[in-house]
């Protein structure tokens, strides 16, 4: 699984399905939850997306603002999950 592919697919999902603003200039390090852009329900939707699209399970304990606040954190969590045995 290529990191760039995960990043772009996740970015597209966030912009189109969650924010409903595909033109928004989402930076990799923009705080989405703590910045008020996404709520905890959206983070849960991202976890479902990751499981469906990338076959990576993200446990509830990882769905916190400390671990899933930015696009970069989300991408890295998916990559770690994909490489886990």
Name the pTM for this structure: 0.93
**What is the CATH number assigned to the segment(s) 3-83?**
1.10.1200.10
Instruction: Spell out the domain ranges in the chain.
Output: 3-83
Tens-of-pLDDT digits for all 85 residues of the chain?
799 999 999 999 999 999 999 999 999 999 999 999 999 999 999 999 999 999 999 999 999 999 999 999 999 999 999 887 6
Q: State both tokens at 8.
A: 């772009």
- Cα-based angle 24, 19, 52 (whole degrees, multiple of 5): 115
pLDDT at 1: 77
């Amino acid at each position: 699984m290529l990191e760039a592919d995960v990043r772009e697919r996740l970015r597209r999902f966030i912009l189109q399905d969650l924010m409903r603003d595909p033109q928004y200039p989402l930076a990799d390090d923009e705080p989405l939850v703590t910045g008020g852009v996404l709520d905890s329900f959206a983070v849960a939707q991202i976890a479902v997306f990751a499981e469906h699209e990338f076959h990576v399970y993200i446990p509830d304990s990882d769905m916190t603002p400390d671990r899933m606040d930015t696009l970069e954190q989300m991408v890295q969590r998916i990559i770690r999950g994909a490489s886990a045995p």
